[in-house]
Amino acid sequence: MVRQNNQFSFQPKSGKARSVTITTERTILVVEDIDEISSQMNQLLTKRGHRVLQASNAEDAIRIAEQSHPAMILTDLDLPTLGLLTKLISEHKDLGELVVAVIDINHPEVSNDRLRILPDYNALDDLIGSTQHQYGHQS
């Protein structure tokens, strides 16, 4: 079996080679208060094959997460409402297991059970893959 851009090709023991497209898209909620950074994150995640939702603060993020059940929330350490965001998620009956991820090449050691600090987008892909079946959120 060979994978290339969500396209898997395989050849059964008898017959012609077949291609199957498997969707690996995950819904990621980006919470970012700076439009330029939010736009960049949206572009990068979309290029990686993800569906992106956007919010600019904790309250909007919770409302969107309740409606859309993202696989993950991606934000940054400088978000003014980051503390409120993690608090609201941990107290929410349906979102308590939702992972909040931050890409920060300078502080990856800050991670804990609620907040994952990631060194790059490859680490984000790995985290998304490991959580896709764990929480049962829309992917």
Residue 56 lies in a domain: yes
pLDDT in tens, 107-120: 545 555 556 777 77
Structural domain includes residue 9: no
Amino acid at the residue 22: I
Over residues 104-132, the mean pLDDT reads 65
Q: In what order do the strands lie in the sheet with 51-55?
A: 51-55, 27-31, 72-75, 100-103, 115-118
When divided into structural domains, the chain yields a total of 1
User: Is 8 among the domain residues?
Assistant: no
Amino acid at 114: R
Q: What is the pTM of this model?
A: 0.66
51 domain-assigned: yes
The C-alpha angle 49, 85, 92, rounded to 5 degrees, equals 95
Residue 43 belongs to a domain = yes
pLDDT in tens, 44-84: 889 888 899 999 999 999 999 999 989 888 888 788 888 88
CATH code at position 43: 3.40.50.2300
Residues in the chain: 139
| Full domain range(s) for residue 58 | 24-131
